[in-house]
Structures are given as structure tokens and as C-alpha cells.
């Protein structure tokens, strides 16, 4: 009988699907210090981003058949050690794409229209003069329609962002050396026949320099760590915006604060941080930054899709063994 530990939780429908195979599914969390010993009782470990699957943890449990990441990135799993030990690693790269795309656009809308600041200050309104002052203060918002969105990375999430951005009247361009050309069917627009737009990858510097909004959609690797550093931030248009809903560490946060304080960039939207789960307080309180606590894939719909996708993969994979 297969025993599964879903240490960071799993949708109920997915749990039932796995249990229908006669397997046991236990839902955590098990604390990090207790996990090495507890894992000895399991064949499969399912994690999200909270649990760190280190090389040491895997070497202490070489009997594991599968480590499954309920989400996109695999940077919290030591892939080299898993490969060495013959432990299969799977994830769900497409299941959360619509939710992350929507949050990306939500951050963009928030900083374009000062929603993050309005929601902080409106509860403090005590008199009409204060209300009028806020009305004047936040009456210089901008429309996204007609603006150019530059996507760095053009995987599933970025393509979902692109479709929605076109629907908002934005121009879209992208940089991705792994995706030379992409054709997007714009079914979200509800037009029949479905229109197709064709985009080709452009140099990173060109995308940064000519976009009103730059949104990042990359994995965190040694090559992408601090890819967006001070030099590249200064390549961006004066008054542009940066959206970061990918992985903490891709942006040099110290450099980001510098260009925001200098007035070179107008604002930023951050869902991920270098020092999770303890992001720097200065980022959280900065008036030019809209923040969320790494919730890109955290919607009811996304978690349902992720769980069922993962369950189907595990059933197919373990049925072969």
C-alpha cells in the first residue's frame, strides 16, 4: 500500500482521488525538525513552497518513490540529489497559471491607480477636508490601455498574462531565449472566430527599455538570481513599473528600492521576496510598492486544479511501478 504525506496541504478532492486507489494520505504540516524521521513511514512526499526538500532530507529517506511539488517552481527541492537517488520529482506547471496571471494584473492595476495606498489611508478619514485631500492625491492614476507590457519569460503563466493584457488594450512584447516565437489564441476575448496574435522574442535590453510595465515570469536559478539588478532597472523607461510574481531573488531588492526612491521607476508590485517568510519591512511599507504574501497560486480554483493534476500524475506514475 502506498503511503503519502501532503506536508503543505492538498485539495480534498485530490485526497479522495488518491485514497480511492487504496492508498493512505496524511495531511501535514510536520515540522522541519521532525520530518526526516516521519518520512520513513511514507513512499511519497507532496509539498508546496513551505517545505524545503534538501539533499540531506532526501539522503535520510532514499526509499522515497516520488517528491511532488504542488505548484510550478522546483527551487525548494534538491533535484540533483533526487536524481542521484532515483527519486522521481513531478510538479504541476500549468494548473496555477490563470491565478498567477490574474494576480499579476491585480498588482498592475493597484499601482496604476494607487489602490494599495488608498486602502491604507481611507480608514483614517475623519473629516471632509481629509477625504478631499486624498481624492486630489490619488486623482493622477493612469490607464493600462495603450501601454506596453514587457514579459520577461514566456511560459504558461506569461502567456496567460499576455492574453488578458491584450484584452485590456495593452501592447505585448517579450524576452525568452527558450521561446523564439509564440502564437496566442485570444479566446478570453469571447470573439469568434478566435483571433491569433503572433509574437517573437526580443533582446532583454530592448524589452526593458521600451515597456511601460515589465513583468517577470522566470524560475529562480543561478543564471536568473539578481537578473534584474541596478543596471537593468535603470535600463527601464523612466516612470515605468515592475511586477514580480515569479520567485524571490530574481530582483535585487536593494537596487529596486534605490530606483524607486530616485524616482526612476513609478512603482512595483511584489508577491515574492528574497527573504521569505520574513520580507524586509521597508518593502512592505514603501508607498510605491503593492505587496502580497506569495499568494499567486493561492486561489480555491488553482488549488483544486493543482491537487487533481498531481493526483492523476501520481496514479499514472505509481501504477507503472
Does the active-site annotation cover 294?
A: yes
Q: Which of 247, 253, 274, 305 is flagged as catalytic?
A: 247
Does the active-site annotation cover 274?
A: no
Q: Return the C-alpha torsion angle 169, 139, 105, 182, nearest 10.
A: 30
- Cβ atoms of 4 and 26 closer than 8 Å: yes
Q: Quick one: cell of 94? A: 500549468
Residues 6+ apart with CB under 8 A from 145: 168, 169, 170
Does the active-site annotation cover 130?
A: no
Q: Which of 102, 121, 202, 276 is flagged as catalytic?
A: 276
Catalytic residues: 247, 276, 294
Amino acid at each position: 500500500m502506498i503511503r503519502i504525506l501532503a506536508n503543505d496541504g492538498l485539495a480534498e478532492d485530490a485526497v479522495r482521488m488518491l485514497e480511492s486507489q487504496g492508498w493512505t494520505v496524511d495531511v501535514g504540516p510536520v515540522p522541519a525538525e521532525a520530518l526526516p524521521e516521519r518520512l520513513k513511514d511514507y513512499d511519497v512526499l507532496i509539498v508546496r513552497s513551505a517545505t524545503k526538500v534538501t539533499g540531506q532530507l532526501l539522503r535520510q529517506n532514499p526509499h522515497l518513490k516520488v517528491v511532488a511539488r504542488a505548484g510550478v517552481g522546483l527551487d525548494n527541492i534538491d533535484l540533483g540529489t533526487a536524481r542521484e537517488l532515483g527519486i522521481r520529482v513531478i510538479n504541476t506547471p500549468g494548473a496555477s497559471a490563470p491565478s498567477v496571471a490574474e494576480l499579476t494584473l491585480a498588482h498592475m492595476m493597484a499601482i496604476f491607480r494607487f489602490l494599495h495606498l488608498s486602502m491604507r489611508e481611507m480608514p483614517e478619514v475623519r473629516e471632509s477636508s481629509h477625504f478631499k485631500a486624498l481624492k486630489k492625491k490619488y486623482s493622477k492614476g493612469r490607464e493600462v490601455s495603450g501601454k506596453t507590457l514587457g514579459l520577461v519569460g514566456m511560459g504558461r503563466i506569461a502567456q496567460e498574462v499576455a492574453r488578458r493584457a491584450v484584452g485590456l488594450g495593452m501592447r505585448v512584447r517579450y524576452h525568452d531565449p527558450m521561446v523564439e516565437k509564440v502564437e496566442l489564441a485570444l479566446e478570453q476575448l469571447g470573439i469568434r472566430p478566435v483571433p491569433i496574435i503572433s509574437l517573437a522574442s526580443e533582446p532583454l535590453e530592448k524589452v526593458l527599455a521600451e515597456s511601460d510595465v515589465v513583468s517577470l515570469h522566470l524560475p529562480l536559478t543561478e543564471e536568473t538570481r539578481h537578473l534584474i539588478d541596478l543596471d537593468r532597472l535603470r535600463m527601464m523607461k523612466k516612470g515605468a513599473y515592475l511586477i514580480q510574481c515569479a520567485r524571490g531573488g530574481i530582483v535585487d531588492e536593494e537596487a529596486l528600492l534605490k530606483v524607486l526612491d530616485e524616482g526612476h521607476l513609478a512603482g512595483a508590485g511584489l508577491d515574492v521576496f528574497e527573504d521569505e517568510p520574513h520580507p524586509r519591512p521597508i518593502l512592505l511599507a514603501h508607498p510605491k510598492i503593492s505587496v502580497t504574501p506569495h499568494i499567486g497560486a493561492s486561489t480555491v480554483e488553482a488549488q483544486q486544479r493543482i491537487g487533481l493534476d498531481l493526483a492523476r500524475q501520481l496514479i499514472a506514475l505509481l501504477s507503472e511501478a
